[in-house]
């Protein structure tokens, strides 16, 4: 009895069932139902590697960066040429999947992705991108959705953002605080001391107030006390062999903290 399936990446915390999109699927304005809908959102400088939609032979196609010849990679990354990218939130008609599967007509390109394992061994990972199936379906559509529907947590830098007071959980959806003046997310770069979740959690006695943060870079052996506030641009760099402990209750606004806890205006 099910008609559509909603597919999203497991790390995308912004991917929830959107009733507006579902209504569009069930009650299309032109009376012709879509078999495949891909949610796309506006590209920023942080998303230059994201796959994009193109039209070829009257069908929509997903183009991934791994498929682009090196000579054209900069063109692919251009924010002005390709203004949207694939969130990998997909709505697919189950009847269409069945029809195509029975005909063995879902033709997916193999993407060759070179990787390096932890031990230093170079390997080739062969992938198929689920969004690439869009070209096999009839009446496909890309829907430009708000950035809030794309909130991936792949690193501890991403995790810090969603654990902070920038977001709250309402009815199963993460929403940005109304107290934040800008709808954009701060740029956060945590160094290698924060890569593993257990190390990351050990370095924060509590998650800092980040409502007014624009940019945070942390490098080296750094820990944060309770109730720290970060505003504007904050750069904290502990030199090799040094340790920096940000004291409880500290307010860092447009500061560079380096070496032996020298705090400078940014």
Tens-place pLDDT, residues 100-147:
999 999 988 898 888 999 899 999 999 898 999 999 999 999 999 998
- Residue 66 sits in the same domain as residue 113: yes
Tens-place pLDDT, residues 173-189:
888 888 998 878 899 99
- Residue 43 sits in the same domain as residue 135: yes
- Residue 104 sits in the same domain as residue 185: no
Which long-range contacts (C-beta less than 8 Å, at least 24 apart) are formed by 121-126?
none
- Residue 90 sits in the same domain as residue 12: yes
CB 133 within 8 A of CB 149: no
Among the candidates 125, 149, 173, a domain finishes at 149
- Residue 161 sits in the same domain as residue 122: no
Q: What pLDDT does residue 210 have?
A: 96
Q: What pLDDT does residue 252 have?
A: 96
- Residue 21 sits in the same domain as residue 94: yes
- Residue 10 sits in the same domain as residue 113: yes
Among the candidates 133, 149, 165, a domain finishes at 149
Give which of 191, 186, 238 is closest to 208, Cα–Cα: 186
Residues contacting 149, CB < 8 A, separation 6+: 14, 15, 16, 18, 39, 41, 87, 89
- Within 10 A of 144 (CB to CB), how many other CB atoms are there? 11
Q: Is residue 265 part of a domain?
A: no
Domain, as residue range, for 212: 156-258
Q: What is the CATH classification number for the domain harbouring 189? A: 2.160.10.10
Q: Is residue 160 part of a domain?
A: yes
Q: Is residue 266 part of a domain?
A: no
Handedness of CA 22, 140, 84, 64 (dihedral sign): positive
Domain tally for the chain? Answer: 2
CB 190 within 8 A of CB 179: no
User: Residue 46 — very low, low, confident or very high, per pLDDT cuts 50/70/90?
Assistant: confident
Q: What pLDDT does residue 178 have?
A: 87
Q: Is residue 34 part of a domain?
A: yes
- Residue 120 sits in the same domain as residue 186: no
Q: Is residue 114 part of a domain?
A: yes
DSSP string, the chain: ---EEEE--TTBTT----HHHHHHHHS-TTS---SEEEEEEE--GGGTTS-EEEEETTEEEEE-GGGS-GGGHHHHH-TTT--EEEEEEEEEEHHHHHHHHHTT----PPEEEEEE-TTS-EEEEEE--GGGGGGGSSS-EEEE--GGG--B--SHHHHHHHHSTTEEEETTEEEE-TT-SSSSPPEEEE-GGGSSHHHHHHTBSSPPB-TTEEEEEEESEEEE-TT-EEEEEEEEEPPTT-EEEEPTT-EEEEEEEETTTEEEE-
Residues contacting 227, CB < 8 A, separation 6+: 206, 209, 248, 249
Q: What pLDDT does residue 264 have?
A: 52
- Residue 139 sits in the same domain as residue 17: yes
Q: What is the CATH classification number for the domain harbouring 87? A: 3.90.550.10
Tens-place pLDDT, residues 62-113:
988 888 888 998 888 888 888 899 999 999 999 999 999 999 999 888 988 8
Q: Is residue 39 part of a domain?
A: yes
- Residue 130 sits in the same domain as residue 231: no
**Would residue 49 show up in a list of annotated catalytic residues for this protein?**
no
- Residue 105 sits in the same domain as residue 185: no
Tens-place pLDDT, residues 218-265:
999 999 999 999 999 999 999 888 899 999 999 999 999 987 655 555
Catalytic residue among 49, 59, 154, 189: 154
Among the candidates 149, 167, 195, a domain finishes at 149
Tens-place pLDDT, residues 154-213:
999 999 999 999 998 887 788 888 899 887 889 999 999 999 999 999 999 999 999 999
């Amino acid at each position: 009895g099910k008609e559509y399936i909603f597919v999203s990446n497991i790390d995308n915390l912004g991917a929830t069932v959107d009733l507006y999109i579902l209504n569009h699927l069930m009650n299309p304005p032109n009376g012709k139902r879509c078999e495949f809908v891909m949610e796309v959102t506006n590209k920023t400088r942080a998303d230059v590697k994201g796959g994009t939609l193109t039209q070829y032979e009257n069908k929509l196609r997903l183009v991934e960066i791994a498929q682009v010849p090196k000579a054209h990679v900069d063109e692919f990354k251009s924010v002005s040429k390709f203004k949207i990218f694939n969130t990998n939130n997909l709505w697919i008609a189950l009847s269409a999947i069945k029809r195509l599967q029975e005909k063995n007509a879902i033709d997916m390109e193999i993407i060759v992705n070179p990787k390096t394992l932890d031990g230093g061994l170079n390997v080739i990972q062969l992938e198929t991108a689920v969004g690439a199936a869009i070209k096999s379906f009839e009446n496909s559509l890309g829907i430009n959705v708000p950035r809030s529907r794309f909130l991936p947590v792949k690193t501890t830098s991403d995790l810090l953002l969603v654990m902070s007071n920038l977001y709250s959980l309402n009815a199963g959806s993460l929403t940005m605080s109304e107290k934040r003046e800008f709808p954009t997310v701060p740029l956060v770069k945590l160094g290698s001391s924060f890569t593993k979740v257990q190390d990351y959690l050990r370095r924060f006695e509590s998650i800092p107030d980040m409502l007014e943060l624009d940019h945070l870079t942390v490098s080296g052996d750094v820990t944060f006390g309770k109730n720290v506030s970060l505003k504007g641009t904050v750069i904290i760099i502990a030199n090799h062999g040094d340790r920096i402990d940000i004291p409880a209750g500290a307010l860092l606004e447009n500061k560079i903290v380096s070496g032996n806890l020298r705090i400078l205006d940014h």
